[in-house]
A and B are shown apart, each in its own frame.
Chain A
């Protein structure tokens, strides 16, 4: 089976691709995608075309250019607008990720157990 080696070779090649071409989303983009525009209806400042989002974006860009850390940026926005402004609350509230994961696991376990035929 020569083809098998080809398959393995191709898979390995695919797996090392990220180190050759790294992903380069900017910090600004990442942050603007996780800040809610408070006057819009559920849009982030990255998505929203409103002037308000524009002004927020300008402040954010300045913060990033000044080299503020993620924690500093986080507390700046939360202290002004409340927790609601962070659309990506997972880092600070890990339970948001854990609860659904636990529920899914329980569901899958129960489901498979119910259906499992003992031989």
Chain B
């Protein structure tokens, strides 16, 4: 039932999009976009219903859900693997198409909706022709389903119990939020692409209207991407017991690349609007933003790279590669039609004025994206060219991305309210002398506390200076009604990043860890504190066994736990006990348990809370923008 309806409605949706692409009459557009959105919502609900009814005749449900899966994770199973996540992708796309139609539609032409529907045809096409989340099961595996059909009305076999979602994905409710946030961010990057290509294709004048729409449509996905990445970091640190928040894992990288590009674009779009420069560069950025999201999906979903996030392979790799080439071609074609317009882009005269600093910002953000991209595909290149398997780890990024981000941090000190003309650095230093000196004194205090190295010193000085200067800007301009919203958005975001950078520096320079072997009712000391370990408590849920170990530091008792999932061959997942103070976390995870003796990893992680504060401040930088809509 679910299987037949799902497949047939996927076909209907596909046919409808084809029609939307080829039709000539405007009146259909409104209706078709709505019907398309409605069908995608229907398909989403249909698969959810299937998940909750445990309809194991559907291959996807048999493989990624189980009878014992708790309701919240059943709900989240929809995007727990490849085929289902494409369904969510399609839902987001149709939602964005609707939003685009309502708010940003180019009234003079229908081309934008046509390009939009072309992109949607591409993704819906995958579920119709290649691999559908509604595919029926025709051959059983020991658990779940091993072979399926994407044709309707076939004879199906039904497995008894499902395989259940990946243990990592059913450990904490954040799982239900983190991936969809990222999807919204990813899919949303389609909007600026559509806005730029369609408006430039049918352009008759020299206005920068396209960049204005592209900027507006970038902001929302950028915000979701920021929140999604932050939640991912929080999830891996606070819940998964990995002890870290960012591992330069390929999948993390490919979410970071569009973020870096979008951040660059949000800045350079401003300079195009006010100085009429960087026209061609902005077009390139918009294109790369969109292509990098497809590239990201390609890397994570094609199984070409090993990562904590990678799941399921199949033929999606070639399909996405083809898509990248196809949309890349459209992008280049429309770009080449506008060479004359792009050549009107103004050159930069004041390299130490507003436009100069925005150019630096773009240079270093783009370079960071480039380095992350190269680091991500290096193992692939080595494998194909030399049949050598290499791993690009943290040190590569520390050496290459670290300094670039440090320069960006430095640029932020001068940011936001720069004069068009060159600034006089000497005069600037004189004017802000008190602030600079107090920042340096503050830095010395902080550095007394830290293990020292030069890169550390620079980072501390720059971030402290950034924080101090930004606070001073707040103080100076708070009552000034003339300052516009983007000024405040910028200042808040930069303040958050300054605090975040300080937190990171604390974290990488100060943290250390040790291992403790200990029995029940014994105590151990760490970082001048005494911790008491109680006896473990076993809890059995339908889908997993949890072994909880209460640990007390005298005033608080927290649990670290091992989650052992039934129906899963994967290793147990440990959750940490975190004793948090402003400066440091004592972070305890249990490694293994043998009767009444335990092996614990005890970490002293510095700066995490400061980092979260910084990220939180950056994420609420959109608040001043809301003021605009109140009027």
Given contacts A3-B434, A117-B348, whether A88 and B395 have CB atoms under 8 Å apart is yes
- Docked Cα-Cα span, A34 to B393, in Å, equals 7
- Docked Cα-Cα span, A88 to B436, in Å, equals 37
Is the Cβ of A100 less than 8 Å from the Cβ of B375? yes
Given contacts A49-B591, A90-B399, A101-B400, whether A115 and B306 have CB atoms under 8 Å apart is no
Which B-chain residue is minimally distant from A111 (CB atoms)? B363
In the complex, chain B residues whose CB is within 8 Å of the CB of A64: none
- CB contacts under 8 Å to A, within B183-217, are none
Given contacts A18-B452, A83-B388, A97-B400, whether A34 and B395 have CB atoms under 8 Å apart is yes
- CB contacts under 8 Å to B, within A41-62, are 41-44, 46-47, 49-51, 54
Given contacts A6-B437, A14-B457, A42-B307, whether A89 and B347 have CB atoms under 8 Å apart is no
Does A7 interact with chain B (Cβ within 8 Å)? yes
- Chain B, residues 292-312, CB within 8 Å of chain A (1/0): the string is 000000000000001110100
- Chain B, residues 209-248, CB within 8 Å of chain A (1/0): the string is 0000000000000000000000000000000011110010
- Docked Cα-Cα span, A55 to B451, in Å, equals 29
Given contacts A49-B589, A83-B390, whether A103 and B444 have CB atoms under 8 Å apart is no
Is the Cβ of A97 less than 8 Å from the Cβ of B451? no
Does A73 interact with chain B (Cβ within 8 Å)? no
**Shortest beta-carbon contacts, A-B, top 5:** A87-B393, A117-B347, A10-B440, A84-B389, A18-B452
- Chain B, residues 555-573, CB within 8 Å of chain A (1/0): the string is 0000000000000000100
In the complex, chain B residues whose CB is within 8 Å of the CB of A103: 370, 374
In the complex, chain A residues whose CB is within 8 Å of the CB of B247: 42-43, 47
In the complex, chain B residues whose CB is within 8 Å of the CB of A11: 440
Does B349 interact with chain A (Cβ within 8 Å)? yes
Which B-chain residue is minimally distant from A36 (CB atoms)? B391
Is the Cβ of A7 less than 8 Å from the Cβ of B395? no
- Chain B, residues 421-447, CB within 8 Å of chain A (1/0): the string is 000000001100110110011011001
- Docked Cα-Cα span, A38 to B243, in Å, equals 19
Which B-chain residue is minimally distant from A93 (CB atoms)? B390
A109 to chain B, nearest CB (A): 10
Does A24 interact with chain B (Cβ within 8 Å)? yes
Does A82 interact with chain B (Cβ within 8 Å)? yes
Is the Cβ of B452 less than 8 Å from the Cβ of A96? no
A84 to chain B, nearest CB (A): 4
In the complex, chain B residues whose CB is within 8 Å of the CB of A54: 591, 599
- Docked Cα-Cα span, A34 to B306, in Å, equals 17
Is the Cβ of B395 less than 8 Å from the Cβ of A90? yes
In the complex, chain B residues whose CB is within 8 Å of the CB of A80: none
- Docked Cα-Cα span, A10 to B310, in Å, equals 49
Is the Cβ of B241 less than 8 Å from the Cβ of A10? no
Is the Cβ of A117 less than 8 Å from the Cβ of B349? yes
What are 19 contact pairs spanning A and B, CB under 8 A? Answer: A7-B429, A14-B457, A18-B452, A21-B450, A36-B391, A40-B571, A41-B306, A42-B249, A47-B243, A47-B244, A49-B241, A87-B391, A87-B395, A89-B392, A93-B390, A97-B396, A97-B400, A111-B281, A119-B349
Known: A4-B433, A10-B444. 8 other contacts (CB 8 A): A10-B437, A14-B457, A84-B389, A86-B391, A86-B393, A96-B378, A103-B370, A108-B367
In the complex, chain B residues whose CB is within 8 Å of the CB of A47: 242-244, 247
Which A-chain residue is minimally distant from B600 (CB atoms)? A49
Is the Cβ of A87 less than 8 Å from the Cβ of B394? yes
Which A-chain residue is minimally distant from B374 (CB atoms)? A100
In the complex, chain A residues whose CB is within 8 Å of the CB of B499: none
Chain B interface residue number, banded: 35 or more
Q: From the candidates A23, A24, A49, A85, name the one contacting B391 in the complex (CB within 8 A).
A: A85
- Chain B, residues 343-369, CB within 8 Å of chain A (1/0): the string is 000011100000000010011001100
- Docked Cα-Cα span, A14 to B448, in Å, equals 10
Which B-chain residue is minimally distant from A21 (CB atoms)? B452
Does B601 interact with chain A (Cβ within 8 Å)? yes
Does B454 interact with chain A (Cβ within 8 Å)? yes
- CB contacts under 8 Å to A, within B587-623, are 589, 591-592, 599, 601
In the complex, chain A residues whose CB is within 8 Å of the CB of B450: 21
B residues near A (Cβ < 8 Å) are 241-244, 247, 249-250, 277-278, 281, 306-308, 310, 347-349, 359, 362-363, 366-367, 370-371, 374-375, 378, 388-396, 399-400, 429-430, 433-434, 436-437, 440-441, 443-444, 447-448, 450-454, 457, 461, 509, 512-513, 571, 574, 589, 591-592, 599, 601
Is the Cβ of B366 less than 8 Å from the Cβ of A49? no
- Chain A, residues 22-44, CB within 8 Å of chain B (1/0): the string is 11110001000110100011111
Given contacts A22-B452, A43-B247, whether A82 and B591 have CB atoms under 8 Å apart is no
Which A-chain residue is minimally distant from B310 (CB atoms)? A41
In the complex, chain A residues whose CB is within 8 Å of the CB of B430: 1, 4
Q: From the candidates A10, A89, A107, name the one contacting B370 in the complex (CB within 8 A).
A: A107
Is the Cβ of B243 less than 8 Å from the Cβ of A100? no
In the complex, chain B residues whose CB is within 8 Å of the CB of A68: none
Which A-chain residue is minimally distant from B367 (CB atoms)? A104
In the complex, chain A residues whose CB is within 8 Å of the CB of B371: 100, 104
Which B-chain residue is minimally distant from A57 (CB atoms)? B515
Q: From the candidates B310, B444, B591, name the one contacting A14 in the complex (CB within 8 A).
A: B444
In the complex, chain A residues whose CB is within 8 Å of the CB of B434: 3
Which A-chain residue is minimally distant from B362 (CB atoms)? A111
In the complex, chain B residues whose CB is within 8 Å of the CB of A34: 393, 395
Given contacts A99-B374, A100-B374, A108-B363, whether A23 and B451 have CB atoms under 8 Å apart is yes
Is the Cβ of A49 less than 8 Å from the Cβ of B308? no
- Docked Cα-Cα span, A17 to B453, in Å, equals 8
Is the Cβ of B307 less than 8 Å from the Cβ of A41? yes
Which B-chain residue is minimally distant from A104 (CB atoms)? B367
Which B-chain residue is minimally distant from A105 (CB atoms)? B367
- Docked Cα-Cα span, A96 to B308, in Å, equals 23
Is the Cβ of A83 less than 8 Å from the Cβ of B574? no
Given contacts A7-B437, A50-B571, whether A18 and B454 have CB atoms under 8 Å apart is yes
Is the Cβ of B367 less than 8 Å from the Cβ of A107? yes
Given contacts A7-B440, A11-B440, A14-B457, whether A115 and B452 have CB atoms under 8 Å apart is no
Is the Cβ of B457 less than 8 Å from the Cβ of A100? no
Is the Cβ of B433 less than 8 Å from the Cβ of A3? yes
In the complex, chain A residues whose CB is within 8 Å of the CB of B512: 29
Is the Cβ of B453 less than 8 Å from the Cβ of A23? yes
A101 to chain B, nearest CB (A): 7
B571 to chain A, nearest CB (A): 6
In the complex, chain B residues whose CB is within 8 Å of the CB of A96: 378, 390, 392, 396
B374 to chain A, nearest CB (A): 5
A18 to chain B, nearest CB (A): 4
- Docked Cα-Cα span, A107 to B285, in Å, equals 14
